Structure 1
Amino acid sequence: MDTFGITVQKRASELEQMAEVLIIGEQLRLRLHEEKLIKDRRHHLKTYPNCFVAKEVIDWLIERKEASDRDTAIKLMQIMNDNSIIHHVCDEYKEFKDLKIFYRFRKDDGTLPLDQEVKVFMRGQRLYEKIMNSENTLLQAREEDSMKYERTFVASEFIDWLILEQEAKTRLEAEQLCRRLLEHAIIQHVANKRHFVDSERLYQFRLNFRRRRRVMELLNERSQRMVESHDSPFCLRKQSHDKSTSFLSVSPTKEIKIVSAVRRSSMSNSNSGGYFANSSTLSSSPPVVMCNPKSVLKRPVTLDELLAPGALYTRKTLTIVSDAVGWGFVVRGDKPCHIQAVDPSGPAAAAGMKICQFVVSVNGLSVLHCDFRTVSNLILTGPRTIVMEVMEELNS
């Protein structure tokens, strides 16, 4: 890597850590609002709007398997506090207390410190969401210097889009904005060798802002963080109070392991059926990870066989609305992809998804010629509600 790449990477590591804290904090804030833990509360004849009780959130983190114990939960909230994501409503405590006292997200009371780095981050996130919510084809798989890269945009086309969307008035202003985004680790050159230039060069967003993070990721070192683009992460699920929501990919045998309700960056090998953990619950130490290369398919099925006239397959359309932590299924395979595992208590199962179904389209886009990484990324970067067309055997 040249001098430019080394310099950018060093700076990017620090900025990505800051970005992850902001994203995890915002996702936690939305989840707590959704579950009514954040609300107006009254104490000593005074009303405190949009606040939560520290002890209740510690209980919630443990119940939702976001923390293994109270000490870990306190550490997680302290990180939020240290990074000015939350604060005590009266700013009396610098340390997060596991007590019946009120805290508030700074975004809820308008006290989030908007320094230059946070402003650029929020601008980048807004642009990312704007692109993902539009119907344009800005992000595509492309080649540069004989290398293929996923979800790239051409610099000159991105500048055209910024001007069209009135995010910049001139090409020079748009280019300067993009250079700031690159300097703040929001975007990067695909090979990380060049600064941003109004050209035909390819760039990517470094962060997938829509990926569902777990609060426990705040304790991870950067080197241990999950690969954004190579995971099939839809198995992250809430766990019930009385029983495990881990699920089996096929009937139990000595070769089949229980799929833990945990996101795993190691679930990225297209030649395997995934890596699964034996433990159905989260403990203070990481679960043991073992390879399970066995596919749930009884035999390989080619695309030609699937689409042949008179083939014994039927098509179904499923509408799946994710909850706060995911959709509840795992995609595997290549041309065509298939459903490897389904959480029986998750949104996908409720919509009628089953193992061994083949994925035909996602939100109207045909994915029959895609591998599971591409399908995973398409779902992750799409809306919360996905419409999937699948094919299954008539006798299944």
Structure 2
Amino acid sequence: MEPYNSDLVIFAEKLREKMQDYKPALIRQRRPMFRAYPDVFMGCEAVTWVVNNSELKKTSEKNNNGSTIGESDSSLTECDAIGLFQKLMDAGLLRNVQTMEGFQNDRSLYRFSSDDHDQEGDTFVRSVAFGYRLYKNACDSTSGLFQKVCAFGQLVSSESLKASDIVSWLVTNGLCKSREAAVEQCASMCSHKVIKSVDPEVSEFGDDKSFFVFLVDYTRKPIQVAQFLSGSTPSGPQCSSITRNKHIHLRQTSDQLMDLSLHNSALLSGRNSRHKGLSTSSDDSGIENGSISPPSYKSLLKSDGSMTKEALLHPSAPFVKKDLKIFPDPVGYGFVIRGSGPCYVKIVDPDSPAGKAGLMAKQYIVNINSQLVTNLPHPEIEDLILNGPKLLKITIMQHIKCERRKASEPTISPPVTPTTPGKTRSSPPLPSAQPWMKKRDSDSYRGMHATVMSRS
């Protein structure tokens, strides 16, 4: 992220602070459908609050001559409020905790990204947001966080904070679960240039008596609502198309080349010798075309032939991608997953919702509710299923051989038995899943997750 994005984070934090201070607080724990969502607010309540809030107005700007630029002071409308929160979602500062949809003026629940303590969110957003909260608290004279630091008899800074005090503040306010996690968060704040050490010889943050000062100016004039709604303030996701396309091209190039460290030096030297006669050209990614060819699918497999996430996503991989939707019954979804980066389906109950939806064993899991999970272990994927919406949207990769075998299997219709007039033919009972379960090794079912366990 660019440095000017700190203004957007501060703008979102100030809006969050006003919503938190409103009575009753808009941001609080809510429990719809017997599940608790901490630090969330309801869309319809937030829209009503913005419309009725006299502090949030389309404040006009004036140039050097005193003439008005833009709109005059006026209250925000319902469309303005919806656009305000939607822009925050587009900038990655707000998200819907229930679905992947945009902002709606209904009872949907939303949470600021800085409050996503259990999610692997943007470290820049959290660093600037936590720095803003720390600065606001340190400005209170009763907190005693700010201290004067002198060097060689001269005042260096009157707004310095001791490292151990910052760690204690993060843990006490519930922003970090432990002091170790707080030290990691402070190290992230240092890397994003939110704070820096007073002593130039201190290169890393530690839970000690070192002093740090703020690099981000939290006292500068904030972004106005009209400026944010008009889109005149640049943001990370709304960067120029040239820069965005360049980043996309670089990311695609790295995905195509995969991990070249898998190839030994002899293979690379052999390829370079074969391509000495070829003309080389370079693109904006800085990688010469024609010097190194992308690795093949088989070369990306492990030495024992097992699957890797790079091989699974290779263009020539013998897999077919499928999107399935599974709605659980009172027992659960009816399948078990195992593995780690990528995970696969180990067992599926054919009479379960997963089996009826087309999920089969030996299928690799790519996405869970539109989130890429090829690099996650199976316990984290189970947590995503448990904490996600009830309707499970899963994307799997099925081997082409299994797909062809399934298509070539003949359909055998049951024999037709003649019926006499006045008598109804009773269909034979469906086979129970119990014999199918007994054939499996009981050790495979120990420690299964409650939401994905097979039904007995």
Q: Same fold (TM over 0.5)?
A: no
Higher RCO, Cα 8 Å, sep 6+:
1
TM-score (normalised: structure 1): 0.34
Query: Which of the pair has more CA radius of gyration?
Result: 2
With normalisation by structure 2, the TM-score equals 0.30
